[in-house]
A and B are shown apart, each in its own frame.
Chain A
Amino acid sequence: MASVLIVGSGASAVHFALSVLKKGHEVTMLDVGHPKPAALNPDDSVNDLKARLSDPVRYFLGERYEGVVYPGSKGEYYGIPPTKHYVFSPPTAFHVEATGFEPLSSFGQGGLAEAWTGGAYPFNDHDLAAFPFRYRDLEPYYGEVARRIGITGANDDLARFLPLHAHLLEPLALDPHSLRLLADYERQRRDLNRALGCYLGRSRTAALTRDTDDRKACTYRGRCLWGCPLDALYTPSLTLKECQRYPGFRYLPNMYVSHFTLAGSRRVGGVVAEDLARTALRELHADTYVLAAGTLSSSQIFMESFLKATGKTLTLPGLMDNRQILIPFVNLRMLGQTYPPESYQYHQLALGIEPPRPEEYVHGLITTLKAAMVHPIIHSLPLDLRTSLFVFRNLRAGLGIVNVNLYDRQRPENHLTLRPGPGSGRSTLVIHYTPAAGERIAISRAIRTVKKLLRRLGCLVPPGMIHVRPMGASVHYAGTIPMSTTAAPRTVSKDCRSHDLDNLYIVDGATFPFLPAKNITFTLMANAVRVAETAF
């Protein structure tokens, strides 16, 4: 059996690894891999933690109070909690420079999805039109990933956009506000579908509603944002643990990969990594190499390999990300009600907007406010702080936010390149992004439609509070080394094998030739399994 060396331990890497391990291959996984801290008081709810921890401020705000979101902090309504900072802390040698883009990278065990919000939405044939395969080719792998990780959902109005794959679990219990929104939608469904092209339904969420052998079903403790202590909310480090049960698996954390060495012009000979524990360089070898370090890091390693081998600086065009728009709302019908702190925290409803052209589908996630850090919301209200707190407390059960996602397509002006470092040192990753010419129109149209929908559901959108997030904020990066049916340089085959280097596969978002508005990670995992099953 072949020896396979994988870079990364994120969602793409671990599902690829698990599939090839099941086939009997030897796998070495190189990862920077900052580990997850142990969960405190796993049986406590979020409010129990506030009451019972010896130092709750340190838990929720961090040792240096870095979890406080001050006025003027870029219009975000929530921050990454200190319990998740390990996910994002970079090695000191990592340098990035970006224009028009705010990149986020992970060097944690399990990658970015250790901090994700669990939205798991399959692509359909319209979304896959630019891919060299159809939905039916991916469907078995969506089913396999759903079986592995647990995905909840329902056969409802959203099924017209979200195919129903195998192993869908029954949905999570709805909180009262989400229940109300759904009921109000159902009463006006025909009209909302026809007049606005809006469809509402249950979110597809990577959380368990049933116990499995290793994991407990969600008990609605409301701690999702700080890290689910029961592992009911899926994160890739769980699959990493599963890989570690295979004797043929070797996990090497603290390894910061720089580049591949080339053996001749078309093969990888080895991989060079800095052992961060010993501050020494190591070269490792295998039959086959797999890049799954996330679109930005995989692209950087790919470019650095050519730079080291040929002295030439590559440019990788086609970087994509979903533009996200945050639309906060107040549901006046929930006024004066008590919010339920013990409920699943993230979005429980999703929204699909029928587009004029199928690839322009607009996807929305509707999160009602439950347990959360609320000071950023309070200080963003246009009142003095005492009045803001009063208004907030009384409206709390009726507050929510729609996170609207727009599609993106590859454009040559959006690219990655390297600025070589001094001597043989690390290069800086350079990112350029310019929005498409018609983007403002698409943003305004989406905002108008969602505002109309919310009004019909009895909700108000407070003036001045809509926030168009910067590019990079959705962290659905894709498109820099895309799948192509022609063997062009800097592309991969349908099986995600590099058209430049015969024994290199790339199995993360870098290979996606189009980015629909749907969250990408479920498809990253399904595609990684597809490659492992069909090419290995």
Chain B
Amino acid sequence: MDDTPPQAALDHECRVLTSYLLRQAPSSYVLAKYRDAHAADALPASPAGPFDRLLARLAISRPSLLKLVDAYASVFFRTGLLRKKMVLLLAILEVSPRLHACFDSPDPGGTVGLLARIAVRSSAFLLRLLLAVVVLGPLQLAFALRSTLAAGPGRRDG
């Protein structure tokens, strides 16, 4: 079965993720490379479970949830599908014309201001993580329970 999303879906995904990461729109070059990377099977093959796939779908289809899912994945799904896609995109962006500059320069402001901003952004991350645990944690539990029940009694490996 071909799991690669169709071109329009990949373009949408690339737009959502680029604007989330860089607050900028992807160039047509970045869109083309993101598509090409999927066609070349660049994402390492991983048995993305149903919950992992759901997280990726939720994040792309509802950008308002993306922040929450990214925070959740940074602790509970570090090697999950969404992070892999975002890391692939980061790798493309950091070497792409014009957009690579988004990785290069610090924000304006003195040392104290920067330290304060880092502290604020890190605290915001912690809050999102907390919220994500409350919202997504039970969902993950429900998925785990469902797959245990689907496996049925007596089906134990080993």
Contacts and interface: CB of A to CB of B under 8 A. Distances in A.
B28 interface: no
A393 B94 contact: no
Interface string B93-136: 01111101011111101110011011001101100110000000
A51 B110 CA distance: 29
B142 interface: no
B44 A337 contact: no
B67 to A, nearest CB: 7
Given A385-B70, A385-B90, A50 B106 contact: no
A393 B40 contact: no
B114 A393 contact: no
Nearest to A56: B95
Given A47-B100, A50-B97, A383 B74 contact: yes
A374 B103 contact: yes
Interface stretch (B3-11, B49-57, B81-89): B81-89
A61 B95 contact: yes
Nearest to A380: B78
Contacts of A388: 74
A65 B42 contact: yes
Contacts of A396: 103-104, 106
A71 B83 contact: yes
Interface string A151-192: 000000000000000000000000000000000000000000
A440 interface: no
A391 B87 contact: no
A72 B78 contact: yes
Contacts of A294: none
Given A338-B105, A378-B90, A72 B110 contact: no
B97 to A, nearest CB: 5
Given A396-B104, A396-B106, A387 B125 contact: yes
A51 B97 contact: yes
Contacts, number: 136
A373 interface: yes
Contacts of B124: 387
Interface in B22-75: 22, 29, 33, 37, 40-44, 67, 70-71, 73-75
Contacts of A386: 20-21, 67, 70
A288 to B, nearest CB: 48
Contacts of B44: 70
B147 interface: no
A71 B106 contact: no
A61 B22 CA distance: 20
B148 interface: no
Given A383-B125, A384-B125, A385-B90, A60 B118 contact: no
A70 B37 CA distance: 14
Contact of B103 (A61, A69, A338, A389): A389
A102 B129 CA distance: 37
A355 B42 CA distance: 46
Contacts of A373: 91, 94-95
B78 A375 contact: no
A64 B40 contact: yes
A42 interface: no
A335 interface: yes
Interface string A368-403: 000001110011001111111111111011000000
Interface string B125-158: 1001100000000000000000000000000000
A65 B83 CA distance: 16
Contact of A379 (B42, B83, B105, B117): B83
A72 B87 CA distance: 12
B115 to A, nearest CB: 7
Given A50-B100, A336-B106, A379 B94 contact: no
A535 B128 CA distance: 70
A387 B115 contact: no
Contacts of B87: 68-71, 375, 379, 385
Nearest 6 pairs between A and B by C-beta? A65-B42, A72-B79, A384-B70, A60-B95, A375-B90, A68-B91
Interface of B: 20-22, 29, 33, 37, 40-44, 67, 70-71, 73-75, 78-79, 83-84, 86-88, 90-92, 94-98, 100, 102-107, 109-111, 114-115, 117-118, 121-122, 124-125, 128-129
20 contacts: A47-B100, A51-B97, A56-B97, A64-B41, A65-B88, A68-B87, A69-B87, A72-B78, A335-B115, A338-B105, A375-B87, A375-B91, A383-B122, A384-B67, A384-B71, A384-B74, A387-B125, A393-B102, A394-B117, A397-B106
